[in-house]
Chain A
Amino acid sequence: MASNIKIKAKLSGDIADIKSLMIHPMETGARKDPDTGELVPMHHITQLTFTNNDKPVMVANFSTAVSKNPYFSFKFGGANAGDKLKVSWVDNLGRTDELETVLK
């Protein structure tokens, strides 16, 4: 089963450059279904959290204005090869997803 989150991590010295991409509709709640003409209910990621060896390094708060299949990148210091980076999100319906990767 392919994951619905992808992470690309690059270490330069102790700086980790983290890029992430996830599958999510990010529905604004204002869009009409072209077939039925009915409003598609709001459905979006609210919070995206990254931890490195269980230490939080980034909390990203999203509105519906983040594009469908969201992309987010950031950098943090004090990283080492072998660190365990974990990303997880929660959306407004309470659904979650997560992925763990090892920094190289």
Chain B
Amino acid sequence: MHVRRRLFLSGGIAFAALAAMPRALLAAAWPDKAFSLTAAGEAMKDLLGTDQTIASDKIMLKVPEIAENGAVVPVTISTSLENVESISIVVKKNPRPLAATFEILPGTLPDIASRIKMGETSDVMAVVKTDHGIYSTAKQVKVTIGGCGG
């Protein structure tokens, strides 16, 4: 909680935001518990209320087949699903599977990209929460042991 408070105190944004978008901010507390859980299903239950998702071909998940380096795996997720509230990245075999979760605020497009760490070969899940359900798609990313690259 104190982490949130510091953000509030760190600048004018938070106060302006509080006035403009109280609901969005409320939804935006950093989900410390979900991030600490070691089973993907448990983390999803804590974050989204369920670990049951609807497989969807309307989610575009771009990840490499073989990661060049597990320390930097590019991930791009976009979706044509309507009324998206959040997008999450779940790496099933990471020690803490929930890697990141993004609040898609009104006006923001469900189209994000980041770079993540992977400890071993695993399914990477893109989980999309909309106002009418929770959808997902997954792809396997192979992580190999290197050490002699470049």
Contact = CB atoms under 8 A, between A and B. Distances in A.
Q: Do A and B come from one complex?
A: yes
Given A56-B21, A65-B96, A98-B10, A46 B3 contact: yes
Interface stretch (B11-19, B55-63, B133-141, B142-150): B11-19
B3 A90 contact: yes
Given A46-B3, A56-B25, A61-B31, A74 B17 contact: no
B114 A71 contact: yes
A47 B28 contact: yes
B81 to A, nearest CB: 15
Interface string A7-42: 000000001000000000010101000000000000
A66 B100 contact: yes
A28 B28 CA distance: 22
Contacts of B109: 15, 74-77
A57 interface: yes
11 contacts: A58-B104, A62-B100, A65-B96, A65-B117, A67-B71, A67-B114, A68-B71, A72-B113, A88-B10, A90-B6, A96-B7
Interface in A71-92: 71-78, 86, 88, 90, 92
A73 B96 CA distance: 23
B117 A66 contact: yes
Grouping DSSP codes into helix (H, G, I), strand (E, B) and loop, the B interface class, with mixed when no group exceeds half, is mixed
Given A65-B96, A71-B115, A75-B111, A46 B20 contact: no
Contacts of B103: 58-61
Contacts of A30: 95
